[in-house]
Amino acid sequence: MAEKKVDNPIEDIEEEAAVEPKKKGKLLVIIVILAVLGAGGGGAWWFLKGKNPASPKTASQKAAEDAKPPVYAQLDKELTTGLTRTDAEDHYLQVEIKMKVANEQVSEKIAQRVPEIRSALILLMTSKSSEDLKTVEDKQRLASEMAGQINRIIRSTDPRVDGVLGVYFTTFILQ
């Protein structure tokens, strides 16, 4: 005869208790793996995209900006002036500069204000001594100060948009 299985509630509870820890353990491992992957993905997104969300430029937009040739402006002639005396000798500085500008409109503004720009740059150069212009860093500082003077005269609010981006010496004679 076939034995009839009798439901034993105690055995059923023991079987369920044995199965539940295995299911809970697997579920916990899956949750931990998903959390680690989510954190890794979020961290990668933050490092790659999240730092500069205000200016999301595509690679093609960046390439188009890089491909656009720079615009330069030049004063009509060189600037020559005496320098501040620090020793018994007189020293003179003669420079010719080119200015990298944001666009053609800035070149036009510069052309309209050449006398003011020349005067401001000569006064700036006159305030220097030969000791102030010895190193490359000194010359770069002078170029930066010149760009600031020009941007002030043409009333640039943001040099990257409406001003002089840089001043470059095409001639630099100090004697």
DSSP per-residue letters across 92-132: EEEEEEEEEESSHHHHHHHHHTHHHHHHHHHHHHHT-BGGG
The predicted-structure confidence for 85-119, as pLDDT tens digits, reads as follows: 888 889 999 999 999 999 999 999 999 999 999 99
The predicted-structure confidence for 146-170, as pLDDT tens digits, reads as follows: 999 999 999 999 999 999 999 999 9
Q: Are residues 46 and 90 in the same domain?
A: no
Q: Are residues 46 and 75 in the same domain?
A: no
As for how many domains the chain has, the answer is: 2
Structural domain that includes position 75 = 70-174
Residue 58 in domain: no
* C-alpha distances in Å from residue 61, one per residue of 52, 53, 95, 118, 165: 16, 15, 37, 37, 20
Q: Are residues 43 and 79 in the same domain?
A: no
Residue 3 in domain: no
Q: Tell me the chain's radius of gyration from C-alpha atoms.
A: 36
Total-model pTM: 0.62
